[in-house]
Amino acid sequence: MPRSLLALALFLAAPTALAQPGVSLGADIVSRYVWRGIDYGDQINIQPTLAVTFDNVEVGTWASYSISSFGDGPAFAEQDFYVSASAGPASFGITDYYYPILNGAESSDFFNFDGDYAGAHTLEAFVQLAPESVPLSLLVATAFYNASDFPTYVELGTGFELGGLEWGAAAGAVFALDPPEGTTGSPFYGTTDDAALINLSLGATKDIPLTDAFSLPVSAALIVNPDSERSFLVFGVSL
């Protein structure tokens, strides 16, 4: 099943193969990696990205690498591959979460597609609605491979301008579509209940002019996870 991701990307891109593709690359440096309210260690992370766009289809990869290890364990590493398409206010696609370092092991085989949390890959399908008529967006994402309980994340977000800054706010919750027998949690998100509010965030971005032709985007976000009762203030720089 995971190998079908590449085939899907090629299929979606085929109708626009003759069009001139767009290529984007960049990197963020963040004070710590917090994803959907989940903390991945108290270290600075470098997060590069590379994507190719064909009309309304985007194929890309994104990664996060900590610059040092956490405790006695190895440094955290994650690389994701994704394909997405947009149609009007809706976008949808598939993300392949690949963890080179898994369960404390020094490395995980890139071709290890075992299920039941034994493999190095987790596949997630997502859809996002962002109509122009209202300043709201809705994200629904379900992990359907290598996640036995089908954990589903739902997030409502909004964006606005205030004080010369671009702001964004979001509230995200997770629940298990089919929790394994004898359990009530969602291991993919580290929750202890069938449903939990795991992400309340408020952040702002600002461009700092360095020269007449170049400015440096910086950001800060307050992230609270009510389920784990933890709070984070994350600073980032985009290159």
Q: Is 78:64 a contact under the CB 8 Å cutoff? A: yes
SS3 110: coil
Does residue 73 or residue 239 have the better pLDDT? Answer: 239
List of E strands, 109-214: 121-129, 136-145, 151-162, 165-176, 195-209
Above 90 in pLDDT, residue 82? Answer: yes
Confidence of residue 105 (pLDDT cuts 50, 70, 90): low
Confidence of residue 201 (pLDDT cuts 50, 70, 90): very high
Length of the chain: 239
pLDDT tens-place string over residues 142-168: 999 988 788 899 999 999 999 999 999
CATH topology of domain 4-238: Porin (2.40.160)
Confidence of residue 15 (pLDDT cuts 50, 70, 90): very low
Q: Which two tokens stand for residue 32?
A: 């710590």
Provide the Cα torsion 55, 57, 58, 59; round to 10°.
Answer: -120
What is the C-alpha separation between 239 and 237, in angstroms, rounded?
7
Q: Which two tokens stand for residue 40?
A: 């991945």
Per-residue pLDDT, 169: 98
Confidence of residue 234 (pLDDT cuts 50, 70, 90): very high
| Residue labelled with tokens 């369960």 | 103
SS3 14: helix
SS3 15: helix
